[in-house]
């Protein structure tokens, strides 16, 4: 009897593996082939403008990148962009989640309107902010500034990186709100009511009950957002094209410049490898952070 059951489980397991094998194989090929080609090109002299210069380059592409001030400027801009957007979305998302958890007239409509910017495509969002909100002559922000007697600001010239941070944060704030508001639904109202009866005010309830309850959800928001924020491209391409100078050039946009503007595939591939290593370091750190919060 036991042998029959074991045999049945074995046959069932083999059938399951046979059904999963094509999808798993396709996924591995989808990942391994581009990664392998990127690694191979990163060690080659391959510039489309100089087809005669080919061959194995060793570490020349990496040496060139690490000696290029543009790489360090791009990495600095990337860290600033990720850090500021995370700070704005996590803090703003937490406060908005607490606000939208309260009962008020039109709460359902307000929730839908607050979450809707997340579903706008990045290119469309960037165009709206560039031409309708931050335009130095006809933008809404310029009209507001002039209404109150202030001088209009040319955002993309005088505050380029801040402009990108505002646009990206506007896109990702609804995502943080959605996750944190969902987590708020499981908050024990009896615990909150008991705290109120003991004399706790709104601030004490927020810091000692609400915030600890949202700790895991905040960790998830940080992990997911950081992975995507490392690859921000469309907002920069549409609004500033990495400028003025290198003021808004992040690592993803620098790779684009090297590959599709300078046609230097070898250097661009080396930059891609650096980006992959950086993303994996961040991912390992975030996974450990989330796992630690889940164990608490």
At residue 207, the pLDDT reads: 86
> Which tokens hold the place of 64?
């060139």
Helical residues (DSSP H) of the chain, grouped into ranges = 2-42, 60-67, 69-101, 107-115, 122-128, 140-147, 155-158, 160-184, 189-197, 202-205, 211-213, 215-229, 234-239, 251-256, 265-295
At residue 191, the pLDDT reads: 84
At residue 94, the pLDDT reads: 93
Give pTM, 2 decimals: 0.86
User: CA–CA separation, 38 vs 17, rounded Å?
Assistant: 30
Contact 172, 150 (CB under 8 A): no
Which is nearest to 254 in space by CA: 266, 272, 277? 272
At residue 249, the pLDDT reads: 95
Contact 77, 249 (CB under 8 A): yes
For residue 207, whether the previous peptide bond is cis, meaning omega lies within 30 degrees of 0, is no
Contact 181, 100 (CB under 8 A): yes
At residue 9, the pLDDT reads: 55
User: CA–CA separation, 39 vs 270, rounded Å?
Assistant: 7
Each of the 296 residues of the chain gets a pLDDT tens digit; together they read: 455 555 555 555 666 777 778 888 888 888 888 888 989 999 988 888 887 777 888 889 999 999 999 999 999 999 999 999 999 999 999 999 999 988 888 888 988 889 888 889 999 999 999 999 999 888 999 999 988 988 888 899 999 999 999 999 999 999 999 999 999 888 888 888 888 888 888 888 888 888 888 888 898 898 889 889 988 999 999 999 998 999 999 999 999 999 988 899 999 999 999 988 888 888 787 777 766 766 66
Q: Percentage of the chain with pLDDT > 70?
A: 93
At residue 280, the pLDDT reads: 84
Q: What is the per-residue pLDDT across 114-160, written as a single tens digit (0 to 9) for each?
A: 988 888 999 999 999 999 999 988 899 999 998 898 888 889 999 99
User: CA–CA separation, 140 vs 148, rounded Å?
Assistant: 13
178 exposure class (CB count in 10 Å sphere: 0-12, 13-18, 19+) = middle
At residue 239, the pLDDT reads: 94
At residue 232, the pLDDT reads: 93
């Amino acid at each position: 009897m036991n042998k029959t059951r074991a045999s049945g489980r074995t046959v069932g397991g083999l059938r399951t593996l046979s059904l999963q094998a094509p999808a798993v194989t396709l996924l591995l090929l989808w990942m391994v082939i581009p990664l392998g080609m990127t690694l191979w090109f990163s060690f080659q002299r391959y510039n489309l403008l100089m087809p005669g210069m080919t061959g194995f380059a060793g570490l020349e592409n990496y040496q060139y990148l690490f000696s290029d001030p543009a790489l360090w400027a791009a990495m600095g801009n990337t860290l600033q962009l990720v850090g500021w957007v995370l700070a704005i979305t996590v803090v703003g998302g937490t406060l908005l989640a607490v606000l939208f958890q309260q009962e008020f007239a039109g709460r359902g409509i307000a929730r839908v309107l607050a979450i809707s910017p997340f579903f706008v495509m990045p290119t469309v969002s960037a165009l709206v902010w560039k031409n309708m909100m931050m335009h130095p002559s006809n933008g809404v922000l310029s009209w507001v500034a002039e209404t109150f007697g202030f001088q209009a600001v040319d955002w993309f010239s005088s505050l380029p990186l801040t402009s990108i941070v505002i646009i990206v944060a506007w896109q990702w704030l609804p995502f943080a709100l959605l996750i944190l508001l969902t987590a708020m639904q499981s908050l024990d109202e009896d615990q909150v009511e008991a705290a109120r009866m003991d004399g706790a005010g709104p601030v004490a309830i927020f810091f000692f009950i609400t915030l600890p309850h949202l700790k895991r959800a905040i960790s998830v928001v940080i992990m997911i957002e950081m992975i995507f924020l490392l690859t921000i491209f469309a907002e920069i391409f549409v609004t500033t094209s990495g400028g003025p100078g290198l003021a808004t050039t992040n690592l993803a946009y620098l790779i684009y410049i090297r590959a599709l503007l300078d046609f230097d595939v070898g250097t661009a591939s080396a930059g891609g490898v650096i980006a992959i290593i950086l993303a994996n370091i961040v991912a390992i750190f975030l996974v450990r952070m989330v796992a630690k919060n889940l164990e608490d």
